[in-house]
Amino acid sequence: MPAQNAFEVTQKQLDECAEILKLDAGIHEMLRTPMREIHMQLPVRMDDGSIRVYQGYRVQYNHAKGPTKGGVRFHPDKGIETIRAQAALMTWKCALLDLPLGGAGGGVLCNPKEMTRGELERLSRAYVDKLGEVIGPHKDIPAPDVYTDPQIMAWMMDEYCKINQSSEFGVITGKPIAIGGSLGRTDANARGGMSAIREAAKICNLDLSNATVAVQGYGNAGYFAASLAANLFGCKVIAVCDTQGAILNRNGLDAEDVRRHKATEGSVAGFEDGETISSDELLELDVDILIPAALENVITEANADKIRAKIIAELSNGPTTPEADEILYNKGVHLIPDFLCNAGGVTVSYFEMVQNAYMYYWDREDVHERLDKKISTSYQAVLNTSTRFKINMREAAYVVSVLRVVEAMKSRGWV
Amino acid sequence: MSMESREIRSGISALDQALQRIRLGDNVVWQIDDLEDYKFFARPFAAQAIQDGFECVYLRFAEHSPILEATEGLDIIEVDPSPGFDYFSGEVHRIIAQKGLKCFYVFDNLSALVEEWATDELLANFFQVTCPFLFELDTVAYFGLTLGKHADSSVARIQDTTQLLINVYKVKGQRYFHPIKVWERYSSQMFLPHCISDDDMPPVSKSGDAAKVSVLARKNPLGGSPDLLAPWASVYRKLLQYEDEDEEVIRANPEIVSLKEELSHMILGYQPDFSRLASKYFRLRDLLFMRNRIIGSGRIGGKAAGMLLARRILKHDNDPTDFTQVLENHDSFYIGSDVFFTFLINNNLFRLRLELTQGSDITHSEFEDLEERFLEGTFPREIMDQFQRMLEYFGQAPIIVRSSSLLEDSFGNAFAGKYRSEFCINQGDPEQRMHAFLQAVKLVYASALNPDATSYRQKRGLADRDEQMALLVQRVSGMRYKNYFFPSMAGVAFSRNLYVWTDRIDPNKGIIRLVFGLGTRAVDRIGGDYPRMIAVSHPDLRPEVGAKVMKYSQREIDLLDLEKNQLCTRHVSEIIEDRDYPHLHMFVSLFENGYLSDPTSSFLDGNPDDYILTFNNLIRKTNMVDLIGKMVAKLEKAYQHPIDTEFTASFDESGNVRINLLQCRPLGVPGTEGHPFDIPKEIPHEDVLFRSNRIVCGGLVPKIHTIVYIDPVVFAALPMDQKKSLGRIVGKINAHPRFEDCKTIMMGPGRWGTSNIELGVNASYRDINNTSVLVEIAREEAGHMPDVSYGTHFFQDLVEAQIIYLPVYPDDAKTEFNEKFFMESPNILKDILPDDGVPDNLIRIIDIESASGGRLLQVVADPQSQKAVCYLE
């Protein structure tokens, strides 16, 4: 059987949710496909004077709850199916957080590794030129994604402002701080995950100040997760890993020391204050909280049964396979699904729009406080749904999202 | 053995009587005015030896008429001195060792060697190293030496070494011999001149007669003859008068041109390709300038010669880029290659070196002991005096002592990183500075014997080639900042770009590996820390995006700590924390809030911990890359060959980039010359073992018999100590006779040759030198990055040895990778290493023939299309 593409996977997840909800067939059909897709040819003058034409996309999946929002990726291999999937997931994520936003996604088929800075700028501006009329603070708000960064967002925003002869900074989020970016964005995903963990700990009767944590992955998200777990709650982070290996210290690792070691040595492996274990062993450690923060599909049918953590907080996208989900649920492991656990980023993006519209900028603490409130509320909604329908947390998160979108569609008279 | 039985007959009984008989073990040096005088003694000696039943060898190496005619019982062996001292000494040693005990020798006139080798120093060295060996073997050897034509110091060394030294001369037609030294023999008249007649050789004992004979025989009895044979002094003296002459006038005068060529050969050597360039570009005044900065005598070696030639080429023509305005001046000194041998011989290290370079193996720990012996060695007084003057010249400026051996950096033999370079921070009182300098010189000398270097020489068939270690003493480029000394920028630049990660990059436009601080980080392969790779055709491109730029950048800096008086490594953030390093905004970008931004002024904001060395502003806002690109292109054009260079760079007071060219050498790039290597179009899928789409060096390797496959998964799970020892295990496999005879592919996880065992197999060149293809199994999501090893010493070794290096990306959709073949074919590891306890799931050695039903493998790599395939033939 050929492998499913990313969009087919999201459709399947929706189908399962629709089955739980016994969703009206017409509504289900409406939710299965994007409401609008734009395919663009983007000519760019290269540094050597030649013209190269790039294929660009923007998918506005569903705008029932408000203007659509989603990332723009510059990647040579991620085609329309991936972008559709991205747009669908953004729809459910925004709804789960109860943000007044729909979901979108976009991208350009290009390889930024083969482009100069000037060429990237011209491509970014071309993308906005072509989208001109269909994006805007009240229509669709792009944001950074794979291989796009605040600089690219700044170029895009500037282009939009030029076209519209206005300073509508809120058209793009993920901008540099100097031109309307929000504070608190860098660690937003990990910080949002912490709020969810705190709520989950209450349910699991876990004293976080005595809790042990293992973090799988030590990139941006993994490092902030380890650091915040220790600093916010007093957790003991006893194991971390990256692609080169894993380290364990049952007395606790200092997140900052490990980060410094990784910065100089290229890996957490070899950290002198920890013993070497395998990455597989890390997943199976007897810890209170396991935080997958790197790759997809690391918890599978093969190892789910050996997981001993009480709480799994999915900071990365798709770390658990559907088969493993079932095993963990039956074992009583409390799983915080990815699109709740790592929704801090999109929430702060939303805050950025709000601040841009408001023309008044919050300090970091304000952002943290509001983020905490959003995630905690959403967690409660998912938990209640899980309990009520006796479904696992991931299914519950879908149910909450879909119901909110459906309600908006119904209110607007679409269904 | 009694003394009597050790005595032999010279063939002239009066001589035997005068000298109280020559004995086994004696070396006899005849200082002569005329070759006939030497023949007079040598012929009866040889005839007597043959008659007495001794083996007799005539070692023939000079152009002069034969000392001995061919006769029954005489073994005439010719040895060519023209390849150089090292080769000649080695050959003579081999002959002596082969002939063994109690063999009798007649050597040609040793003075002929000076014409070949240019210096009396080498002549004395040869004698000093050969005589003791002859003595040990109870041989008797006659040597001729022209009287009064050699430096007194060299004759003194010969006199110290030999057992008998006898002057022979004619006064008014009468031949005399005059023993100067007769070891452990004495009589009241032995050391008087002896008059030679047909049946008697009486001493000239009357004072009046003796005075008459002696005064006519020796015009300079106290030494200091102005009429020396050695061209080293004589050619130099003759040319000195033309020093200020216009170069056009010099080139028009055949006699001066010929002398100039001779001087060039004495200083730079005879390598034809190099000599052609030297002759074209070096002016007489350049050669004389070099000659005046040589300590001791002899050549300056390949590295120094390459550096000087490249500088000369760059300044040669008036082209749009005026390199005289770009290049920093240099004021290097050279320790002549003769000094190396003098050091070896004076400190009893010569024969050990000879054994090691000609096949004996040495372990790394044995080498450490050897280094200790070198460190205990001493230099002659006159060399020490010159060292002293040089150190006074440099004062407290840091210097670097770099190997510059005769073979090093020549066409086809880069010897990249085989020999050491040692920094002298040059702080402390004069005694301390001298001590540190001597240590540095001795360590570099010792590195001539390091296992990697000897293996490299043997593998490349250079074991018998003349290889002397000259040294280059350079002022370290840079400036003081805080308590440190380092250059703003340093790097290596290639005229060909072997690191083409996108087809937009023009491989013919060169590449630069650039670092902040000392260039040691640019030339060595340091795991986890990365120089900036700059493609000259597209300087702005880099193969990383976003946060990965931070990961693949330089985080540590090598510098000289003036307070601690040592070379050290520091975090870059620690060095630049005050944010006032000159022109820092040209080197760093700020990674903050998830993205990278380049400073727009020299006023730097942000936390120094967030500064990343990208050199973005340098690349975009200065002409640095353009200059280096033009520099390597001009050098390649002149060399008519791809080249690589080492350089430092800085900003002058006006903010212009200045370059200091430290090294230049030819680089052979497999697959860039000769026929294209076309990838066969229709290979059945099942016959393909792997494909690679990002290759750099090309070639065709047919009939591969063996694969050594290191399983990446098992490797990843290995404990540290086992990972560390893997390079040595690979080395053992590599040394197995099977791999010397059959072509092999070695495949392993991550980078080969890295010092960081987390990134790959820590093999040295010696551990893999028998393979034909080296494959890096690269998984990007496993933390591996398209390798930036290109340009390092390890990579250059591979390039020169024509070992094809291929990264294979099994996870790339366009890549074929037949993992099943590697995992399921029979493993013959236990046949190769039966007792080493290496897990056979870690290393799989596959005999292709038996695994594939009689077929062999072929690898084709085409650098033009950047594609390679490995398939069953």
pLDDT digits (tens, 9 = 90+) for A97-112: 999 999 999 999 998 8
Contacts of A277 in chain B (CB under 8 A): none
Average per-residue pLDDT for chain A = 93
Strand, coil or helix: what is B646?
A: strand
Enumerate residues 6+ apart whose C-beta is below 8 A from B484: B559, B560, B561, B562, B570, B575
Contacts of A220 in chain B (CB under 8 A): 547, 594
Enumerate residues 6+ apart whose C-beta is below 8 A from B728: B767
Check if B574 contacts A (Cβ < 8 Å).
no
Check if B527 contacts A (Cβ < 8 Å).
yes
The answer to whether B275 and B309 are in contact (CB under 8 A) is: no
At B151 the pLDDT is: 87
Check if B633 contacts A (Cβ < 8 Å).
no
Q: Which residues pair with B313 in a beta bridge?
A: none
Taking the CA of residue B622 and the nearest CA in chain A, the distance in Å comes to 16
The two tokens of residue B190 are 């032995």
pLDDT digits (tens, 9 = 90+) for B52-92: 999 999 999 999 999 999 999 999 999 999 888 888 998 99
- Say if residue B786's pLDDT is above 60: no
Mutation test of the interface with chain A: which of B499, B505, B541, B544, choosing the one with the most A Cβ atoms within 10 A?
B541
At B222 the pLDDT is: 67
* Closest by Cβ to B758, choosing from A118, A150, A267: A267
Percent of chain A with pLDDT over 90: 82
Provide the sign of the torsion angle of the four alpha carbons B193, B196, B202, B207, taken in this order.
negative
* Closest by Cβ to B528, choosing from A144, A151, A264: A264
Let me know how many helices (H) and strands (E) chain B has, helices first: 33, 35
Q: Where are the alpha helices (DSSP H) in B552-701?
A: 572-575, 616-621, 624-639
Interface touch A266/B540, C-beta < 8 Å: no
Of the candidate ranges A136-140, A406-410, B868-872, the one whose mean pLDDT is the lowest = B868-872
Of the candidate ranges A289-303, A352-366, B10-24, B489-503, the one whose mean pLDDT is the lowest = B489-503
What is the average pLDDT across A233-237?
Answer: 97
* Closest by Cβ to B720, choosing from A149, A264, A276: A276
Enumerate residues 6+ apart whose C-beta is below 8 A from B564: none
The answer to whether A264 and B528 are in contact (CB under 8 A) is: yes
- Say if residue B866's pLDDT is above 80: no
pLDDT digits (tens, 9 = 90+) for B228-278: 777 888 888 889 888 888 888 888 899 899 999 999 999 998 788 888 999
Closest-CA residue to A123 (of A43, A38, A59, A49) = A43
At B199 the pLDDT is: 75
Amino acid making up residue A289: I
Task: Tell me which range, B50-54, B493-497, B589-593, B684-688, is most confidently predicted by mean pLDDT.
Answer: B50-54
Looking up tokens 């972008």 gives A83
Looking up tokens 């009597």 gives B4
* Displacement of CA A248 from its chain's centroid (Å): 28
- Say if residue A204's pLDDT is above 70: yes
Contacts of A263 in chain B (CB under 8 A): 555
| Local confidence band at B417 (pLDDT 50, 70, 90 cut-offs) | low
At A61 the pLDDT is: 98
Q: Would you say how long chain B is, in residues?
A: 873
* Closest by Cβ to B545, choosing from A147, A265, A295: A147
At B661 the pLDDT is: 96
Taking the CA of residue B248 and the nearest CA in chain A, the distance in Å comes to 45
At B481 the pLDDT is: 96
Provide the sign of the torsion angle of the four alpha carbons B151, B152, B154, B155, taken in this order.
positive
At B725 the pLDDT is: 80
If one compares B753 and A174, the residue with the highest pLDDT of the two is A174
Interface touch B502/A114, C-beta < 8 Å: yes
pLDDT digits (tens, 9 = 90+) for B443-462: 999 988 887 777 766 665 66
Closest residue of B to A149, CA-based? B595
Interface touch A220/B571, C-beta < 8 Å: no
Q: How far apart are CA B237 and CA B248, in angstroms?
A: 21
Check if B605 contacts A (Cβ < 8 Å).
no
- Sheet of strand B479-481: strand arrangement: B479-481, B484-486, B556-561, B566-571
At B359 the pLDDT is: 61
Amino acid making up residue A390: K
- Say if residue B671's pLDDT is above 50: no
- Say if residue A36's pLDDT is above 60: yes
Write out B683-752 in H/E/C secondary structure: CCHHHEEEEECCCCCCEEEEEEEEEEEECHHHHHHCCHHHHHHHHHHHHHHHHCHHHHHCEEEEEEEECC
* Displacement of CA B652 from its chain's centroid (Å): 33
If one compares A169 and B816, the residue with the highest pLDDT of the two is A169
At B758 the pLDDT is: 65
* Closest by Cβ to B758, choosing from A115, A245, A264: A245
Interface touch A176/B597, C-beta < 8 Å: yes
pLDDT digits (tens, 9 = 90+) for B621-634: 999 999 999 999 99
- Say if residue B225's pLDDT is above 60: yes
At B525 the pLDDT is: 58
At B292 the pLDDT is: 93
Enumerate residues 6+ apart whose C-beta is below 8 A from A83: A57, A59, A73, A105, A106, A107
Q: How far apart are CA A202 and CA B864, in angstroms?
A: 62
If one compares A204 and B835, the residue with the highest pLDDT of the two is A204
Cβ-based interface (< 8 Å): residues of A facing B: 47, 77, 111-118, 144, 147, 149-151, 174, 176-177, 181, 185-186, 219-220, 242-245, 263-267, 269-270, 276, 278, 295
Write out B768-802 in H/E/C secondary structure: HCCCCEEEEECCHHHCCCCCCCCCCHHHHHHHHCC
Taking the CA of residue B590 and the nearest CA in chain A, the distance in Å comes to 12
At B62 the pLDDT is: 95
Task: Tell me which range, A403-412, B310-319, B352-361, B806-815, is most confidently predicted by mean pLDDT.
Answer: A403-412
Torsion of CA A360, B606, A187, A267, to 10 degrees: 170
Interface touch A149/B595, C-beta < 8 Å: yes
Contacts of A242 in chain B (CB under 8 A): 783
- Say if residue B416's pLDDT is above 80: no
The two tokens of residue B386 are 């010159």
What is the average pLDDT across B808-830?
Answer: 84
What is the average pLDDT across A257-284?
Answer: 86
| Local confidence band at B337 (pLDDT 50, 70, 90 cut-offs) | very high
At B221 the pLDDT is: 66
- Say if residue B209's pLDDT is above 60: yes
Closest residue of A to B760, CA-based? A244
At B352 the pLDDT is: 82
| Local confidence band at B465 (pLDDT 50, 70, 90 cut-offs) | low
What is the average pLDDT across A157-168?
Answer: 95
The answer to whether A196 and A272 are in contact (CB under 8 A) is: no
Q: Would you say how long chain A is, in residues?
A: 415
Residue B313 sits at φ, ψ, to 5 deg, of: -60, -45
* Closest by Cβ to B593, choosing from A47, A181, A244: A181
At B456 the pLDDT is: 66
The answer to whether B150 and B120 are in contact (CB under 8 A) is: yes
pLDDT digits (tens, 9 = 90+) for B712-728: 888 877 777 777 788 88
Percent of chain A with pLDDT over 70: 99
Closest-CA residue to A145 (of B590, B785, B546) = B546
pTM of the model as a whole = 0.79
Amino acid making up residue A25: A
At B780 the pLDDT is: 53
The Cα-based distances of A389 to A202, A332, A340 in angstroms read: 21, 16, 18
Contacts of B759 in chain A (CB under 8 A): 244, 266
What is the average pLDDT across A170-189?
Answer: 95
Interface touch A149/B758, C-beta < 8 Å: no
Q: How far apart are CA B36 and CA B39, in angstroms?
A: 5
Residue B864 sits at φ, ψ, to 5 deg, of: -70, -50
Provide the sign of the torsion angle of the four alpha carbons A200, A203, A209, A215, taken in this order.
negative
Q: How far apart are CA A223 and CA A242, in angstroms?
A: 10
* Closest by Cβ to B528, choosing from A181, A219, A265: A265
If one compares A58 and B458, the residue with the highest pLDDT of the two is A58
| Local confidence band at B674 (pLDDT 50, 70, 90 cut-offs) | very low
At B52 the pLDDT is: 94
At B785 the pLDDT is: 46
Q: How far apart are CA B606 and CA B684, in angstroms?
A: 58
If one compares A414 and B206, the residue with the highest pLDDT of the two is A414
Mutation test of the interface with chain B: which of A123, A146, A147, A149, choosing the one with the most B Cβ atoms within 10 A?
A149
What is the average pLDDT across B29-43?
Answer: 94
Using CB atoms and an 8 Å cut-off, which of residues 744-763 of chain B contact chain A? 756, 758-759
Residue A320 sits at φ, ψ, to 5 deg, of: -115, 130
Q: How far apart are CA A359 and CA A353, in angstroms?
A: 10
Residue B683 sits at φ, ψ, to 5 deg, of: -95, 130
- Say if residue A4's pLDDT is above 70: no
At B558 the pLDDT is: 95
User: Considering just the CA atoms, what is the radius of gyration of chain B in Å?
Assistant: 31
Q: How far apart are CA A31 and CA A199, in angstroms?
A: 30
Taking the CA of residue B707 and the nearest CA in chain A, the distance in Å comes to 25
| Local confidence band at A341 (pLDDT 50, 70, 90 cut-offs) | very high
Write out B380-434 in H/E/C secondary structure: CHHHHHHHHHHHHHHCCCCEEEEEEECCCCECCECCCCCCCEEEECCCCCHHHHH
Average per-residue pLDDT for chain B = 86
**Element at B649 (helix H, strand E):** strand B643-651
Interface touch A186/B596, C-beta < 8 Å: no
* Closest by Cβ to A116, choosing from B538, B720, B759: B538
Interface touch B545/A113, C-beta < 8 Å: yes
DSSP B203: B
- Say if residue B613's pLDDT is above 60: yes
Check if B547 contacts A (Cβ < 8 Å).
yes
Strands B174-182 and B511-516, by their bridges, are unpaired
Closest residue of A to B555, CA-based? A264
Percent of chain B with pLDDT over 70: 88
Strand, coil or helix: what is B473?
A: strand
At B788 the pLDDT is: 42
Query: In this structure, how many other beta carbons lie within 10 angstroms of the beta carbon of residue A137?
Result: 17
- Say if residue B672's pLDDT is above 60: no
Q: Is B103 exposed, middle or buried (0-12, 13-18, 19+ CB in 10 A)?
A: buried
Q: How far apart are CA B158 and CA B869, in angstroms?
A: 62
Interface touch A149/B555, C-beta < 8 Å: no
Looking at this predicted complex, what is its ipTM?
Answer: 0.79
At B411 the pLDDT is: 62
